Structures are given as C-alpha cells and as structure tokens.
Structure 1
C-alpha cells in the first residue's frame, strides 16, 4: 500500500512540475520526402495527353511534366507509381505514394478525406458535335430531347442522367462514342474540354467542339494525406513559383493546346 501511495504521489508531483512524457508527434510528410530525396507520385499512366506511355515506354504527358517540375522546385526527384483509377485514392491514403497528379477534381467529398494544393488546372464540361451540326447547346437543359453519348461510369454519365429528358447513351469507351456521333446515331457527346482537341485530332473523324456547359466548372488540384502542414506549404510554394514564372502556362499550351492554368471566364 505504501509503495502504491508513493508511486501515486510521485506521479502527481511529476504532473505538477510538468515532467510528463511528451506527446508523440507524427512526422510531417515534408520530413519523409526530404529524407529520401524522392516525391512519390501516383497516376494512371493510361490517360493521354495527361499521363501515358510514349513510344519508348516512358511516362510522358502534361501531368508527368507538372509532377517533375513540382518535385524539382521542392528539391526532390519525382518517382512515379502507376495504378488504376479505381484504387488511386485508397493507394494515397495507404501511403503507397505521397501525392496524386492525375487530373483529380477537387470535389467536396474528396476534400473531406484529403488535403489539396491550390488548383493547377481549370476546366469544364464541353459538348462535342459533328462538324456539319450548326446547333449550339450551352446548357444541360438545352440537351433535353437529344441523344447524348457518354462513357459508362464517368462523371459525364452522371451529369447527363441528372437532367430528365436527356436521352443518355452510354459506351464502354470513348472511341465507340465518337464513332456513333460521327455516324449521326447520337446528337452530341460530353467530355472534359481539355480532352477534346486531343480526341478530335486522333479520332480522325468529322467532329468539332461545341459550347462549354454552364455551371460545370472543374478545378484540379494535387491531393495528399491530411495532417501535413509543412508539406502543404512547401508544395503550394512550388506551385506558386511555377504559376508566377510561367511554367504551368507553358506546359499547358505545349500539351493541351490552351492555357488551362487560369480560371475560366464562364
């Protein structure tokens, strides 16, 4: 009993004098990447012109170039980890990589689970039409009564289905969608405005871009795990520098044919 009382008194004294064991603090991600000299980047690697394998089998594209530039500004080397889109968020949360650079839109649901940098790409949903189709569809409402092609499981499929009256036609892939559009079997298709120049160029079909859909602005950022304030500042500082020195604009025009680094006037 005396021993127990002595131990309790000692513990109380230590508390009063402030001799409590220090709380264990989680290491900030910045410490981890600085120690290794490597920034691990998650991406699909199958999404041209953002990230894909070139003819030499090397990763190439806009997001690849952005990731390398960000890593360089942080004094690190980018190391890419390719993974399917369906598991890319889970992979980040599991620590398989430090960030994702893969056109990740900054949705409220994702913001609850992850932290994001400032946006580095601004986009919107755009209509794709046949070259000889002079109609303009500036909103989802304008597409009521029209047949609209979308890729199965895409954000665009959900968007089209959200408006009653649109005849939604789903396709397993973009190529099937574009062929039906060119053949006149559907009235229009929906996709990311930044993808359309690439799709039109490579499809070699009589297609053109239509209007940007009102109210469909998209902001893409670089996500990372929550609880890393020093890393957050470091990566945002890197993006700020790339924005200010014109690097983001240059890379955007090089790979996407337009400056996507500035907010859209819509």
Structure 2
C-alpha cells in the first residue's frame, strides 16, 4: 500500500508539472531567454530576403526587429521553406512567424494570431501613361489582362466577364508585354507593385485596387494570453509612434496597415 501511495503521489506530481508547463505563457519564455525567435522564408522579397552581403532584409524583417525591441528582447531569425513553416511553429522550433501569414479560420484552429498588421489587395498594374478609367471589372471588358499562371489573381481575373485573361510564367513576362502594349493591364498583390516597378525599371504604375482585401497577422502557438496582449500592444505602439509607417513607406511607398484609398 505504501508503494501504491508513493506511485500515486509521483503521478500527481508529474501531472502537476505537466499542467504547469502547459500553463507557462510564451511571454515568460521570451523574456527569460531575452530573444524572440522569428521564422521567415528568407526568399520572399520585398518581405524577407538576403541582401548582397547575405544578411536578412525586408519589410517583415524590419517589423520583427521593431516588435522585438518593443518587447525588450532581441530577434533571433530562422529561415525555412513555406511548405514547412507552420509545422515548425507547431513543433516549437520558433515563437512566431512574420511572413505575411493570412489568419484564416482553418489556421486559427491550430494557432493564435496577433492583430492584423498588413492589409493588401489585388491591384491592377498599368502603363505609366495610361489615361483610360480602368477602375472596375466592367471597365476591363474586352481588355487583355496579364496574370501569373496558377495564381489566385488568375482565378480572380477569370471571373471578370468579357476580359481576355492571358497567363504567364511570372511577373517579368507579363510586365514586359504590358510595357510594350501587348496587354492592357496586369494583376498582382498591391504590396508587390512598388517592388516590381523598381526591380524591372519598366514604364508601369499601380492602377486601381480591385477585389476583396486580405489581412495578414503573426501566428504563435495557442495558450499564451500575456504574449498575445504584449505583441498586440507592440504593434499598436509601432503604429502610434510612427515606426510602422516609416518601415512600410520604405518598402511599399505607403502605410500598408491601412486600406487603399481608391477614389
């Protein structure tokens, strides 16, 4: 009986230790170690990529550094392919992903998310001297629209009645056709257009935002309310003190936390 009671006590202690471990908030771990472990792809410009010196750079990298500073810790980056980035978070390989992750209902079943920190839209790209009012699907009837093959932008464009949708391997190809007048407009994510314009040096410009907006947020493992409150406060403080707008304008020529004024 004594041995049985001892076993029960030991089991209870182990269960208590397990519950305590589960109850530990991520904020306590981050503060204790002094680092925020951040996952990015590292191959997704202008959001995150390696510069000529091999150093991580990009919008998400700057945002992650600023959030870590608000938390009073240093960022510690891990690069990993998109195909396994969420599984790595679930396995505890890092604390957060700062990599334009959409906070879908399906993902919310597994992870908690910060408040949204990015709003993006499908947006038209037109020639720099375009003067026609290409503002809506109705305006695109009879027009040739370039999109990336297999992209969600191709799916969207195909819903526009009367538009002639042309698919291309990538942005470089359809932007070349746009610049030379072979197509009337192209479609991509609003956040990528300034980068594409700068990279290609073609006579193009951002056109109308078109389609439904999407928001991206920062995922982390469930069960850390203190961490969630702290990271939301960090994002709010960055917006309030102008840091967010400065970083956003550096990469995208506007504040991407705000909807596009398409009037």
TM-score tier, shorter chain, comes to 0.7 to 0.9
Tell me, what secondary structure is at the counterpart of 2:121? Answer: strand
What is the RMSD computed on CA atoms of the aligned residues?
Answer: 2.9
**With structure 1 as the length reference, what TM-score do the two structures score?**
0.83
Q: Does 1:235 align with 2:231?
A: yes
In 2, the alpha carbon distance for the partners of 1:114 and 1:158 equals 28
Task: Give structure 2 stretches of 5+ with no counterpart.
Answer: none
Larger radius of gyration: 1
Q: Which residue of 1 aligns with 2:257?
A: 261
Matches within 5 A, 1:108-187: 108-163=105-160, 165-187=162-184
Cα pair 2:195 2:251 within 8 Å, conserved: no
| Unpaired stretches in structure 1, ≥5 consecutive residues | none
Tell whether the 8 Å contact from 2:124 to 2:188 is kept in structure 1 after alignment. yes
Pick one of 75, 81, 85 that aligns with 1:88: 85
Residue number among 12, 33, 37 corresponding to 2:30 in the alignment:
33
Question: May I ask how many residue pairs the two structures share in their alignment?
Answer: 254
Q: Kindly indicate whether the alpha-carbon contact (under 8 Å) linking 2:144 and 2:185 is maintained by their aligned counterparts in 1.
A: yes
Deviation of the 1:222 alpha carbon: 1.2
Instruction: Find the residue that maps to 2:157 and give its secondary structure.
Output: helix
Task: Give, in angstroms, the shift of residue 69 of structure 1.
Answer: 0.7
Q: Is the partner of 2:64 in helix, strand or coil? A: helix
Are the counterparts in 2 of residues 147 and 186 from structure 1 also a CA contact under 8 Å?
yes
Aligned mates of 1:173, 1:123 — CA distance in 2: 20
Give the aligned partner of residue 55 of structure 1. 52
TM-score, normalization by structure 2:
0.84
Cα distance per residue 1:62-121 (max 9 Å; x no partner): 211110010111121111111222332232223222111122233333334322211222
